[in-house]
Amino acid sequence: TATYKICLLPGDGIGPEIIAEGVKVLDAVGAKFDTAFEYTEALLGGIAIDETGEALPEETLRAANASDAVLLAAVGGPKWDTTDPEKPRPEQGLLGIRKELGLYANLRPVRIFKALADASTLKSEIIDGVDLLIVRELTGGLYFGARERFYDEEGCGVDGAAGQRAYDTLEYREYEIERIVHHAFETARKRRSRVHSIDKANVLETSRLWREVAHRVAAEYPDVEIADMLVDNAAMQLINNPAQFDVVVTENMFGDILSDEASMLTGSLGMLASASLGDGVALYEPSHGSAPDIAGKGIANPLAQILSVEMMLRYSFNMQDAADAVAAAVEAVLDEGWRTGDIAGAETPADKIVGTVAMGDLVVSKL
């Protein structure tokens, strides 16, 4: 029996509710595929701030590094929202663990389940044939540059009046661009051999470096097509003609924004899984946040978390059959018409709308 150690980071808001469903699915997979999953739970985000004063306690980092894979739910919430730069924020914990584990490649697959074609806000003929993968650079760019806020007594307001001034720097090094673009091309080779590299090269210097490096890397993959697209156009094209995309590679913040947008092709942000990969232990996390508006109500969609478990099985444990089984189980549940509120439509019968726990149970019942 293979044994894997998994570090669980439930975090805040709906986090603890959805991660329980991910664990339920892992346990069912373990039983079926003769694998033992051992869990250690650690603190990250707001709950970590409350209990230790820090968003990413040293002990959490140790637990993550001692595991074979990390499963994260989500962090953050109004309780810890502050504009005071001196106060810790839950999101710093997430950025910290991504950086510390070197998780530079964030894969966000946008896959349409047939049964959910009507759940999208877009017409079904637009999302027909959509199967794209966003490869988001995760440890660089605007998120990790220098940042500062100045409290100036003079000079920053209108007409030299008192005011404040803040900056965040957007910086990329060649090697950071190179490795993420390589990742995109390697992945595209196993898919439909097309890469869209998204930038803002008409304005940003970092984007012009990005474009230069992307094309240099592209030359090593003559079998894969590369197309450049400016990010504002890409935002429009994702809604206009999403089926044109196969692999989309882009810098950190563009990838953050475009992936939330792309999630609506699937019907809900609650469907969008992700894998954050580097050279060491990998982390798996839904693309959505802690959804404070529905936390504690038992209605959150656990499928992004469960599909993140699928990615863990695939990328960290090379358990392809188990991963396929999870994907098939989710598909079967949706085919039977079961929905959480976020993916239910006007025509969904009330008795087919289920909560977080019931959705997890349904997936397990199909395994």
Contacts of 362 (CB under 8 A, 6+ apart): 333, 336, 338, 354
Does 91 participate in binding ligand IPM (rule CB under 6 A)?
A: yes
Choose from ligand IPM, Mn ion, ligand NAD, none: what does 267 bind? Cβ within 5-8 Å by kind: none
68 is an active site residue: no
Choose from Mn ion, ligand NAD, ligand IPM, none: what does 270 bind? Cβ within 5-8 Å by kind: ligand NAD
What phi, psi does 30 have (nearest 5°)?
Answer: -55, -45
Shortest distance, position 92 Cβ to ligand NAD, whole Å: 10
**How many of the chain's residues bind ligand IPM (CB under 6 A)?**
7
Residue with tokens 């993959």: 221
Helix or strand or coil: residue 268?
Answer: coil
232 is an active site residue: yes
Shortest distance, position 210 Cβ to ligand IPM, whole Å: 18
- In the complex with ligand NAD, which residue's Cβ is closer, 225 or 331? 331
**How many of the chain's residues bind ligand NAD (CB under 6 A)?**
20
Q: Which one of 12, 199, 246, 256 is in contact with Mn ion (CB under 5 A)? A: 256
Evaluated on CA atoms 187, 245, 267, 129, the torsion sign reads negative
143 is an active site residue: yes
> In the stretch 244-273, what mask flags binding to ligand IPM with x, by CB under 6 A?
------------x-----------------
Helix or strand or coil: residue 9?
Answer: strand
Task: Determine the Cα–Cα distance for residues 319 and 121; give it in Å rounded to an integer.
Answer: 34
Q: Around Cβ 54, how many Cβ atoms within 10 Å? A: 17
Q: Are 275 and 106 in contact (CB under 8 A)?
A: yes
Q: Which one of 10, 267, 289, 360 is in contact with ligand NAD (CB under 6 A)? A: 289
Known binding positions for Mg(2+): 232, 256, 260
Name the one range near Mn ion by CB under 5 A: 58-66, 176-184, 242-250, 251-259. 251-259
- Cα separation values, 288 from 18, 32, 40, Å: 11, 29, 23
Which is catalytic among the residues 79, 260, 361, 366? 260
Q: Is 275 left (phi over 0), alpha (psi -120 to 50) or beta?
A: beta
What phi, psi does 218 have (nearest 5°)?
Answer: -55, -35
Shortest distance, position 257 Cβ to ligand NAD, whole Å: 11
- Which residues are known catalytic residues? 143, 200, 232, 256, 260
Binding site residues, ligand IPM, CB under 6 A: 76, 91, 94-95, 256, 287, 289
